[in-house]
Chain A
Amino acid sequence: MTGTFVRACALASALGPDLEAAVERLAGAPVAPARNTKIGGTWPYFAIPVAGKNWRKRAEAIARSVAESLRREAALAPARWAELPCIVGSSSFSVGAWDDGGWAALEPSFEFSRRLARGFGVHGPVTAVSTTCTSGLSALDIALGLVAEGEFRDALVLGAEFSNRLTVAGFAGLELLSATAARPCDRERDGLVLGEALAAVLVSAASAPWRIAALATRMDATSVTGPAPDGSVIANAMRAAMAGAHWESAAVDLIKLQSGGGPLADSAEANAVREVFAPVPRTVSLKGALGHTLGASGPAELALLLASLARGRVPATWGFANADDELGLAPSGGDAQGVRRVLFNLSGFGGSVMSVALEKAL
């Protein structure tokens, strides 16, 4: 099988400082967000369980740990590792440095991304991309192009979203946050819970268990902060991803939803899923466990999902308890046997809508 494959993943998230810990924890009972942030209200927040008073030093410590995990799993020769290009997706980059360092502590997004890449020990070209919550998948899209065109055999994708008060302030201003919990697809859902993550995905031309069969991007300009209520653009993106992968809709075994518990956004995605699929395949959302990690959410959820599937489990959707009849979606975890084709949805502010077709290759 040819194409571009996911060679290795690593993740630091609220579920743990590494992917192994995260998968183990996700298999257990749901855990509430560990931190609250007070800005115009008190908002729960999914923080990475790594202590540190200085924002920058904490971010660097998290990056070192994720880099070590990825390097171990990727098992690339040192020379090949050092040559990797690095594409960083984030919506906030280093703005959190302001929280304890003031205006002078901020640095341009590219400089922050380059430092992150160097922290991973890679010295190829660095690109930073911001497409709000889809930033990490935009980074993946760029990496896929580099590998597909033969510019590089492997490429490193980072999704980075570190704790910062400004992002919480922005979402609070938009009245999109839940004061209690993220409840994806649940009839009691009342908003998002934000979180932080640093995820690393190494894509490669070399064969690996999961192939990225297609990635589709669409623009939904209905509103700059939410999808068209009918979900038509999300449906279009899913159809494009399936067409790129040469799949019929009946071939899809699992849909990883964007769903994070926002009343309107969840509804739009559900409309899209019901329009494209009959019957609707199994679904899962990971934002009840990770929080909405914004620009990191693509690589973070990809890493967590593939690691769970590798251990034979479709993760449970934390926060989902009671189906909303109007949505018609009931995410379900359990045995992953037979899951060979996954559609992976993400959307964000500014109308960015993406869908990735993932296919079991080995």
Chain B
Amino acid sequence: MAGIKDLGVGIGWRSEIDLTVERLPGVDFVEVVAENLHVGHLPESVTLLLERGVPVLPHAVSLSLGGADPVDLHRVEHLGAVAEAVGAPMVSDHVCFVRAGGLDSGHLMPVPRTRDSLDVLVANVKLAQANLPVPLALENVAALLEWPDGELSEGQFLAELVERTDCWLLVDVANLYANARNIGTDPERFLDEIPLERLAYVHVAGGEQHGDIYHDTHAHAVLPEVLEVLDELCSRVAPPGVLLERDDNYPSDTEIASELAAIRAVVDKHRA
């Protein structure tokens, strides 16, 4: 795969807002949560979007590729089957773990940025890639803590992951912003360190400050500061796609359209 084709500006398809997604102007592509779809029984709305020629990209949340537990190949196969069902050019999941010792965290947990941890992640990613029909992109997560004894920065960690697995990157600028707020990481350094030529697409989302913590809720409006991180990214590379994620407290169609327009304005500013 030489490169990711231009996807444009998209939105995460969720069943609660399916009609909204269908009628919103300027939705170039959508992303579906793979675990929520049944192959052979796709939601009518997703089928309609496919008929219109809107690319549908499966996004997984449960592969737990950063975990020490063996990769659950049934989950990988399901992701691949969804990709084939929707004719997706790629699939994605996160650089994280969600299970350990038989327990499910219910959250995307950051992995320790050590070489040992990277070796585990690389092995798991290679196994997943071998069982997927399309390329895999991996996303940086929002972390509320940093594991001790880290040997690499997040950018270095992802750069080496790309080098060793040839995976693609899904950069979540809202997560970069959240990490900057909560654990003091530097989004610009991250962007300096990752191989931008391997950028598949970008996630944008909203969040909210609770006390000392910024929560990447996907249930609030996108902050201008998050769009500034997107602006910084776009100043370095033209992202193949940028996608708005909204998972709860869905606003009106008008507000969603405004957020998409704001994202498009940032992207177009640099393309012009």
Say whether A and B bind each other.
no
Give the interface of A toward B (CB within 8 A): none
